[in-house]
């Protein structure tokens, strides 16, 4: 599958309550996802921490459950800021697979690997 140069980020999704980022407007999101795919785009990017942990679930509900897996690619991120010890990597990864509703990720990124988290990242292989 050819990946076009435009991706769909799930960091700032439409919400129903402006004071609660977990109240994702799924009807609106479904329309956005459908339009994006109809235009021939395939790359979706989410993260463990977006929308206080609800973005990956929204991806599952709006994209994964409603479209064939071969019609899109998914990227998510290892939340370095949430890791306390190396062993948590696999636990979080498996949790993300479940939340996203996929068997694999097309892309898996290190999230927020700035100066403050670089030392943490160096400890993990």
Mean pLDDT taken over the chain: 92
In total, how many domains does the chain have? 1
Whether 40 is covered by a domain: the verdict is: yes
| CATH label of the domain that carries residue 77 | 3.20.20.100
Yes or no: say if 47 and 84 are a contact pair by the CB < 8 Å rule. no
CA distance 24 to 20: 9
Whether 2 is covered by a domain: the verdict is: no
pLDDT above 70 covers a percentage of the chain that reads 91
CA distance 119 to 113: 9
Whether 72 is covered by a domain: the verdict is: yes
Yes or no: say if 71 and 42 are a contact pair by the CB < 8 Å rule. yes
Q: Which two tokens stand for residue 16?
A: 């129903």
Q: What is the pLDDT of residues 3-49, one digit of tens each?
A: 678 999 999 999 999 999 999 999 999 999 999 999 999 999 999 99
Q: For residue 50, give the nearest of 74, 25, 79 by alpha carbon.
A: 79
Q: What is the pLDDT of residues 39-90, one digit of tens each?
A: 999 999 999 999 999 999 999 999 999 999 999 999 999 988 777 787 888 9
Q: Are strands 15-17 and 20-24 parallel, antiparallel or unpaired?
A: antiparallel
Whether 1 is covered by a domain: the verdict is: no
Q: Which two tokens stand for residue 46?
A: 């989410």
């Amino acid at each position: 599958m050819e990946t076009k140069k435009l991706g769909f980020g799930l960091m700032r999704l439409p919400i129903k309550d402006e004071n609660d980022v977990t109240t994702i407007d799924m009807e609106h999101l479904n329309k956005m996802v459908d339009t994006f795919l109809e235009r021939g785009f395939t790359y979706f990017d989410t993260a463990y921490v977006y929308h206080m942990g609800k973005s990956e679930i929204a991806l599952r509900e709006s994209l994964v459950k409603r479209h064939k897996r071969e019609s899109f690619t998914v990227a998510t991120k290892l939340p370095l800021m949430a890791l306390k010890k190396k062993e948590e990597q696999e636990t979080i990864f498996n949790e993300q697979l479940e939340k996203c509703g996929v068997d694999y990720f097309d892309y898996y990124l290190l999230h927020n690997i700035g100066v403050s988290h670089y030392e943490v990242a160096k400890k993990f292989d």
